[in-house]
């Protein structure tokens, strides 16, 4: 049985991984077949094209690998829900948009498996806090 010798965490656009940096520079020193990873990752994430997908890669001592896909970061889900490209550059003064409780709940449904909150209410507060730190008003 192969044992895990290295864990690598990356955030890659779904369906658009290439052997170029940051993927190649992270996986090359670990001895992973970069082309094989890119093909498998792109196949697994083709429905989430364009979204940033965190991936946790476990490299075995025989140079084989397994990976686990996570949900996109809450900040990316907030931007997608509001249809904007980025948050406010002047957070307390200038607002980037307004997010509703219903939108926060929708984000929570998608993000909950990856969150470490003790309850849905705590997770909703976490997402609302992320939105506020991006300059998004929470209604």
Which residues make beta-bridge pairs with 12? 53
Predicted pLDDT of residue 26: 85
| Residue ranges of domains in the chain | 4-69, 74-138
DSSP per-residue codes, 101-132: HHHHHHHHHHHGGG---SSHHHHHHHHHHHHH
User: Would you identify the CATH topology of the domain 4-69?
Assistant: Ribosomal protein L11, N-terminal domain (3.30.1550)
The pLDDT tens digits of the residues spanning 1-28 come to 678 888 989 888 888 888 888 888 888 8
pLDDT at 50 over 80: no
- What CATH number should be reported for the domain whose range is 74-138? 1.10.10.250
Predicted pLDDT of residue 126: 87
The pLDDT tens digits of the residues spanning 96-126 come to 788 888 888 888 888 888 778 778 888 888 8
């Amino acid at each position: 049985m192969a044992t895990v010798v290295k864990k690598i965490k990356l955030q890659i656009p779904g369906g658009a991984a290439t052997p170029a940096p940051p993927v190649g520079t992270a996986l090359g020193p670990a001895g992973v077949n970069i082309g094989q990873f890119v093909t498998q990752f792109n196949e697994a994430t083709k429905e989430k094209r364009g979204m940033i997908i965190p991936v946790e890669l476990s490299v075995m001592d025989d140079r084989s690998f397994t990976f686990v896909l996570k949900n996109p970061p809450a900040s990316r889900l907030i931007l997608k829900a509001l249809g904007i490209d980025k948050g406010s550059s002047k957070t307390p003064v200038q607002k980037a948009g307004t997010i509703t409780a219903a939108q926060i709940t929708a984000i929570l449904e998608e993000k909950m498996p990856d969150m470490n909150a003790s309850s849905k209410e705590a997770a909703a507060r976490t997402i609302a806090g992320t939105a506020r730190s991006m300059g998004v008003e929470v209604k």
